[in-house]
Structure 1
Amino acid sequence: MTADWREAGVGAGRPHRRRLPLPGHAGHQGPRARAPARRRPAAPVRPGVLPGGTHRPQLVKETLAQLEERFPALRDYSDRQRQHTAEDLAHITDFLATALYTDDDELFTGFLTWTGAILTTRGVPAHSLPPTLDALAAQLKDFPRARRIIGHARRILDAGAGPGSGSSA
């Protein structure tokens, strides 16, 4: 069915010229008043990137290197154990980035106490976590929010609160 729009009548085919009321004027049916949105903290905009453009693989690699100094038992790990350690470090940095994005210290701390329980199950002492946090904090020394989150987690782990922190430190 192809009807010529010109045959449909006067004004057919022309845009509707009714003016819509502007927000704040009489007759405007805009959205209801709502509470102002919670302002989110400055956050990394790309996945895998921490404050200052620090890339996750770079942070994991450097943390692993520093851990050899801070946690001497790592030097004797097999290739498989080192791979597991690198994967654990990647998860830790992911949770740190998420905690920074959401400004939620407890998210990171909860993950670390859970990780401590998993490490203990694997036969890895949970007291390997504080040197990991120290290595991360050293690399992120110019980022106070990251250091705050790491410091909070470290204090909780040192206090022995949460699952997985029952190992001696």
Structure 2
Amino acid sequence: MRAIIFLITWCIPIFCIAQDLNELDKKNGFRGIELGSKIHKYECMQTMTPEYATKNNLSPEWDYYNTLCNHKLIIGQTIAHLLFKTADNKISEIAIISKADRNIIKSLSDLYGEPTYFTPNLDLYYWRSEKIELRVFFEINKMTINYKSYAWSLKRDEIKAEKESKKAKKQFIP
């Protein structure tokens, strides 16, 4: 009898947490923009240029940005930037940058359960499912919410390594 009570007490909460993270895999992105889908399937996508990145104080590692024609707010905060990394023109990573609002942690915890990992002193929170990593980090007056597909991010890294290898070979082969 004790064993049954023990199992019920410990297994049900673990099952519930797993269910919440499964929801992250089911959603597979941000507001209908799905990880692994073709970037040109969505409206308002623009290729990231060095000028745009510099002007907006963004990292040039992002491939595309969205002009926010369909995505204006997140938890009541205006979205400043919606950024994308791609592999073979498929979305591997999505970043949403807006004014900092700590209510996002409660909202995401309600959807996906408590963070898998967090460092409150560094203002960094992670939810890790089988296919996706969701990160939220806070900086002075802003927050970045980042959805990353493990599979497509690996593909992106492979493509990048292949390009760098070809470039290196060209330097040494006459």
Q: Which has the larger radius of gyration?
A: 1
More strand per residue: 2
Task: Report the TM-score when normalising by structure 2.
Answer: 0.23
Q: Which of the two has greater helix per residue?
A: 1
TM-score (norm 1): 0.23
